[in-house]
């Protein structure tokens, strides 16, 4: 399957399995969604479970919260993650605090298409996951593979409390991968070693994971065996996996597409400094996008975010430290 098809498969299978699951979002019914993920859903499930919502992220997320309070399991699609700003109060003040305030569950999933390399410019290419990693009461996941796209979405829909599911637009049709049939749930809060190695640890997620794997392959031709860890879950982080790989290799390079300052990489670096300092044999290095809005020009966007050659150079430099 492609990454996109895996998301569609997870949604369809959960809607067939559990009548409480429904989808809501802009243009997801007749049109099948901006990226075609819910194409055909309206014919199969009908307008009460495939709801074409108005152009109001605040209203749509608020409706999802209300439905979850009443025992439903809504999956709300935000056409682009950038526009979650219009629903910020609903997400961070209402959904995130609900269980803490009431003791009751709030099974809400927000599907958040995010990220660049799609020539979308500053309003359609942002990576804003760090806003929500800073918000207690939420879970935040960011699959990098088709298998995890399916497995993490199943886990998110079945979770009793809010999950923000960041799906990278560049990965939708990036390639085809083997995806397990049937029941395939990826636990939230578990990282995955995508490539074994001993020289240093490269820690990443989402689209950048694939660039890191390509960079590790390039470094391997120079005899450098880099281990690559796919975080998959950003809140909660898999602390044991992060500390385990760093204690194994003694060096850490953290790569993410979001802008550098106060990104997820800063939290990972702080964790390593606090808990694995005595295992380090070099500085903890971060590689991220520039602290600017996302450029619209393809040339500038390529300069803005980490590229394979840059990551490979950072691997070589850290290995030689």
Q: Specify the pLDDT at position 118.
A: 86
CATH number, domain at 157? 3.40.50.970
Contacts of 43 (CB under 8 A, 6+ apart): none
- Is the Cβ–Cβ distance between 257 and 290 less than 8 Å? no
What whole-number distance in Å separates Cα of residue 206 and Cα of residue 129? 11
pLDDT at 206 over 90: yes
Beta strands 226-230 and 192-195 are antiparallel
159 and 246 assigned to the same domain: no
Question: What is the residue range of 293's domain?
Answer: 192-319
216 and 164 assigned to the same domain: no
Contacts of 229 (CB under 8 A, 6+ apart): 191, 192, 193, 194, 201, 202, 203, 204, 241, 242, 245
pLDDT at 119 over 90: no
Q: How confident is the model at residue 53 (pLDDT cuts 50, 70, 90)?
A: very high
What is the mean predicted confidence (pLDDT) over 9-25?
97
- Is the Cβ–Cβ distance between 226 and 213 less than 8 Å? no
Q: What is the pLDDT of residues 58-99, one digit of tens each?
A: 999 999 999 999 999 999 999 999 999 999 999 999 999 999
Within a domain: residue 300? Answer: yes
pLDDT at 294 over 90: yes
Q: How confident is the model at residue 45 (pLDDT cuts 50, 70, 90)?
A: very high
Please state, rounded to an integer, the average pLDDT across all residues of the chain. 97
Pairwise pLDDT comparison (119 vs 38), residue with the higher score: 38
35 and 90 assigned to the same domain: yes
| Runs of H (alpha helix) within 70-222 | 88, 98-102, 129-133, 146-158, 207-220
Phi/psi for 235 (5° steps) reads: -150, 105
Within a domain: residue 186? Answer: no
pLDDT at 227 over 90: yes
Q: Specify the pLDDT at position 182.
A: 85
Active site residue 124: yes
238 and 310 assigned to the same domain: yes
Q: Model's pTM, two decimal places?
A: 0.97
Q: How many structural domains compose the chain?
A: 2
Active-site residue (options: 124, 168, 170, 192): 124
């Amino acid at each position: 399957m492609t990454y996109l098809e895996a998301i569609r498969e997870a949604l369809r299978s959960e809607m067939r399995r559990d009548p409480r699951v429904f989808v809501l979002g802009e243009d997801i019914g007749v049109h099948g969604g901006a990226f075609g993920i819910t194409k055909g859903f309206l014919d199969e499930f009908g307008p009460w479970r495939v709801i074409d919502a108005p152009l109001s992220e605040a209203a749509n997320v608020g409706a999802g919260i209300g439905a979850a309070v009443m025992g439903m399991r809504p999956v709300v699609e935000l056409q682009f993650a950038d526009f979650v700003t219009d629903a910020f109060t609903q997400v961070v003040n209402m959904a995130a605090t609900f269980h803490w305030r009431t003791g009751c569950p709030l099974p809400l999933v927000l599907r958040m298409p995010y990220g660049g390399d799609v020539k979308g410019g500053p309003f359609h290419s942002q990576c804003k996951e760090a806003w929500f990693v800073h918000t207690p009461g939420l879970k935040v996941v960011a699959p990098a593979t088709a298998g995890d796209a399916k497995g993490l979405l199943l886990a998110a829909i079945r979770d009793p409390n809010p999950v923000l599911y960041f799906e990278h637009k560049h990965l939708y049709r990036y390639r085809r991968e083997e995806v397990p049939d049937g029941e395939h749930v990826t636990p939230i809060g578990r990282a995955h070693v995508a490539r074994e190695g001993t020289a240093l640890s490269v820690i990443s997620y989402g689209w950048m994971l694939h660039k890191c794997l390509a960079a590790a392959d390039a470094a391997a031709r120079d005899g450098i065996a880099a281990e690559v860890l796919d975080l998959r879950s950003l809140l909660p982080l898999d602390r044991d996996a992060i500390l385990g790989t760093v204690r194994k290799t003694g060096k850490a390079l953290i790569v993410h597409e979001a802008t550098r300052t106060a990104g997820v990489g800063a939290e990972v670096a702080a964790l390593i400094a606090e808990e694995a300092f005595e295992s380090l044999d070099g500085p903890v290095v971060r590689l991220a996008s520039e602290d600017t809005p996302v450029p619209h020009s393809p040339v500038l966007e390529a300069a803005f975010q980490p590229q394979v050659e840059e990551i490979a150079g950072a691997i070589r430099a850290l290995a030689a430290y």
